[in-house]
Amino acid sequence: MGLTVIQVDAFTNQPFSGNPAAVCVSEQPLAEELMGAIALEMNLSETAFLHPIEGGYSLRWFTPSVEVDLCGHATLASAHVLWSEGHLPAGAIARFHTKSGWLSAEQKGEWIEMNFPAQPVRSAHVVPQLIASLCCGGNIRSVVKNDVNYLVELQSETALRTIKPDFEAMKKLPVQGVIVTAVADEAGYDFVSRYFAPAAGINEDPVTGSAHASLAPYWQTKLGKSEMLAQQVSARGGIVRVRCALENSNTTDDENNRVAISGQAITILRGELMEN
């Protein structure tokens, strides 16, 4: 078959940390059934599939069980692969056509900055099933939601680090997943988070770039800052820089609806898919 599969650890510069993603770059689009089978075989939170189109690359993301509309760490991994494997020259902007529209990524020194659509949150009815699934006692400060996820702010980083959700209960919620966040304790970081998506086959995602498209505007309003450094405190952990437009700035409406999400990436494995 001659299809190269590259595994990248995203949102980290250290191997075996951050969020692993598989990346497959082909000359032509692959059959949807094949992409799903490869993603299931790789058994990572996301496998990204790319092929060249006019203006950039088509990009689709698959978990082991479903296709998703937006994924940050696999986009970061895809951009890293395009540059490191010579598909794009160093310094060229990587442009991706996705189910969430056009996305772009560019090199910023040792970091990769992605341009994502903001996913602002709105007030949400606090359903008892959500509270029960988080098993967090009385530590909830607020609950809001975007189009696909609940976003829950807890009272402290300690409370966030120690929760042990009931994934079977969470799987029954009418959302893709639950973002949980709190103000960071450690100096240098602004906020911390975790992300749970058992309904998408991912009990806990190591580092979730797309969640920061909601976390950035949420914490911008809370902290009054447009540039922040965040830490996702999963077992593997990862570091995310975010930048969003300042309210009442001179940016356009379109720019106000975008979020810059930055991270680092490192190649871990390279293999060939065998034709049987």
- Asked if residue 227 and residue 145 are part of one domain, the reply reads yes
For residues 126-143, average pLDDT: 90
- Asked if residue 250 and residue 127 are part of one domain, the reply reads yes
| Residue 175: Cβ-neighbour burial (10 angstroms; 0-12, 13-18, 19+) | middle
Q: Which domain holds residue 50?
A: 3-113+263-273
Number of domains, the chain: 2
CB 156 within 8 A of CB 168: no
pLDDT (0 to 100) of residue 125: 86
- Asked if residue 9 and residue 73 are part of one domain, the reply reads yes
CB 35 within 8 A of CB 9: no
- Asked if residue 50 and residue 144 are part of one domain, the reply reads no
Catalytic option among 46, 106, 113, 157? 46
- Asked if residue 239 and residue 131 are part of one domain, the reply reads yes
pLDDT tens for residues 31-56?
999 999 999 999 999 999 999 999 99
Angle, CA 217 vertex, CA 212 and CA 223 arms, to 5°: 110
Does the active-site annotation cover 46? Answer: yes
Structure-model confidence comparison of residues 241 and 138, the more confident one: 241
pLDDT tens for residues 210-231?
999 999 999 999 999 999 999 9
- Asked if residue 144 and residue 101 are part of one domain, the reply reads no
Bridge partners (DSSP) listed for residue 227: 243
- Asked if residue 243 and residue 128 are part of one domain, the reply reads yes
- Asked if residue 147 and residue 179 are part of one domain, the reply reads yes
- Asked if residue 70 and residue 168 are part of one domain, the reply reads no
Q: How far apart are CA 253 and CA 270, in angstroms?
A: 41
Residue 105 CA to its chain's centroid (Å)? 14
pLDDT tens for residues 138-174?
799 999 999 999 999 999 999 999 999 999 999 999 9
Kindly tell me the number of DSSP H helices and DSSP E strands found in the chain. 7, 18
Q: How far apart are CA 153 and CA 103, in angstroms?
A: 28
pLDDT tens for residues 71-127?
999 999 999 999 999 999 999 999 999 999 999 999 999 999 999 999 999 999 888
Q: Which residues contact 256 (CB under 8 A, 6 or more apart)?
A: 118, 245, 249
**CATH code for position 226:** 3.10.310.10
- Asked if residue 250 and residue 131 are part of one domain, the reply reads yes
- Asked if residue 252 and residue 199 are part of one domain, the reply reads yes
- Asked if residue 149 and residue 100 are part of one domain, the reply reads no
pLDDT (0 to 100) of residue 253: 44
pLDDT (0 to 100) of residue 93: 98
